């Protein structure tokens, strides 16, 4: 699929320098997304027992994410101060800011899972005679798949994909929730010790929050496309 730039999306305007700034903002958000994805794929390698990646590297990768978040925040503040954007330009900046926040939180949850695995790998219990780590790895793959869809929706201003993602109509969203619940119930039924259950719950809670942050990105893209804030519906 061809990547759209800010001006390609129909938001371009006469001030070329402002267009350049908005493209820079888009690129920095996408770069931050790539860094967070690297954390998640690194955690995948840990779960496969690969020697190429360690939990320490996953944790250290969060520093780059945090530093980029600070840079993007400062860039956004300068944009708001210098350009006084309105309409679609302002929506784009607000959307970028919200996505950056959720990316940082997703990175934090990945680090939390890595820290649990660093101390407790092999002590997450079993489900149907299968190590819980195997199922966690597969769940993480589903989360990465959804994350890719969310970032692609932002990259291409894809309202339809963002709406379906936010509503859980595409990808393995519903499947993830069912499998996380099944894994938790199955592991407890296997009669493992309490520490195994606690470790697994910590990981699954981080994964569930991570899924929520991914869905948030879909909601932010809806706001970008329509100006409608669909967060906290029914609240």
**Bigger pLDDT: 214 vs 180:** 214
Confidence of residue 159 (pLDDT cuts 50, 70, 90): very high
pLDDT score at 125: 81
Least confident of 6-15, 26-35, 158-167, 183-192: 6-15
Examine residue 168 and state whether it is found in any structural domain, yes or no: yes
Confidence of residue 132 (pLDDT cuts 50, 70, 90): confident
Which domain does 52 fall in, by range?
A: 15-226
Q: What is the mean pLDDT of the chain?
A: 85
- Closest by CA to 183, choosing from 217, 211, 207, 164, is 207
**Bigger pLDDT: 14 vs 174:** 174
Cα angle 165, 5, 148 (rounded to 5 degrees) comes to: 30
Examine residue 231 and state whether it is found in any structural domain, yes or no: no
pTM to 2 decimals? 0.86
Q: Is the pLDDT of residue 177 over 90?
A: no
Q: Is the pLDDT of residue 169 over 60?
A: yes
pLDDT tens-digit series, residues 5-42 = 555 555 555 446 778 889 999 999 999 999 999 999 99
**Bigger pLDDT: 138 vs 125:** 138
pLDDT score at 235: 39
pLDDT score at 40: 96
**Bigger pLDDT: 23 vs 126:** 23
**Bigger pLDDT: 105 vs 201:** 105
pLDDT score at 11: 53
Whichever domain contains 213, its CATH number is: 1.20.58.220
Examine residue 6 and state whether it is found in any structural domain, yes or no: no
Examine residue 97 and state whether it is found in any structural domain, yes or no: yes
Examine residue 187 and state whether it is found in any structural domain, yes or no: yes
Q: Could you give the number of structural domains in the chain?
A: 1
Confidence of residue 178 (pLDDT cuts 50, 70, 90): confident
pLDDT tens-digit series, residues 62-97 = 999 999 999 999 999 999 998 888 888 899 999 999
Examine residue 122 and state whether it is found in any structural domain, yes or no: yes
């Amino acid at each position: 699929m061809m990547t759209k730039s800010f001006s390609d999306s129909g938001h371009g305007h006469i001030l070329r320098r402002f267009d350049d700034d908005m493209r820079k903002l888009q690129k920095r958000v996408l770069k931050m997304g790539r860094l967070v994805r690297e954390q998640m794929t690194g955690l995948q390698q840990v779960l496969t027992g690969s020697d190429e990646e360690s939990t320490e590297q996953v944790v250290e990768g969060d520093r780059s994410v945090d530093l980029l978040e600070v840079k993007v925040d400062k860039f956004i503040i300068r944009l708001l101060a210098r350009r006084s954007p309105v309409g679609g330009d302002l929506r784009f900046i607000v959307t970028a800011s919200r996505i950056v926040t959720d990316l940082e939180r997703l990175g934090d949850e990945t680090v939390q899972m890595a820290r649990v695995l660093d101390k407790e790998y092999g002590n997450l219990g079993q489900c149907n005679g299968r190590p819980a780590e195997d199922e966690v790895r597969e769940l993480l793959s589903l989360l990465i798949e959804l994350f890719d869809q969310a970032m692609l929706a932002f990259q291409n201003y894809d309202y339809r994909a963002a709406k379906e993602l936010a509503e859980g109509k595409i990808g393995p969203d519903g499947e993830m929730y069912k499998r996380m619940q099944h894994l938790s119930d199955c592991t407890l039924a296997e009669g493992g010790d309490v520490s195994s259950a606690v470790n697994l719950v910590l990981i699954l809670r981080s994964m569930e929050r991570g899924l929520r942050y991914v869905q948030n990105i879909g909601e932010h893209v809806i706001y970008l496309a329509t100006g409608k804030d669909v967060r906290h519906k029914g609240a």
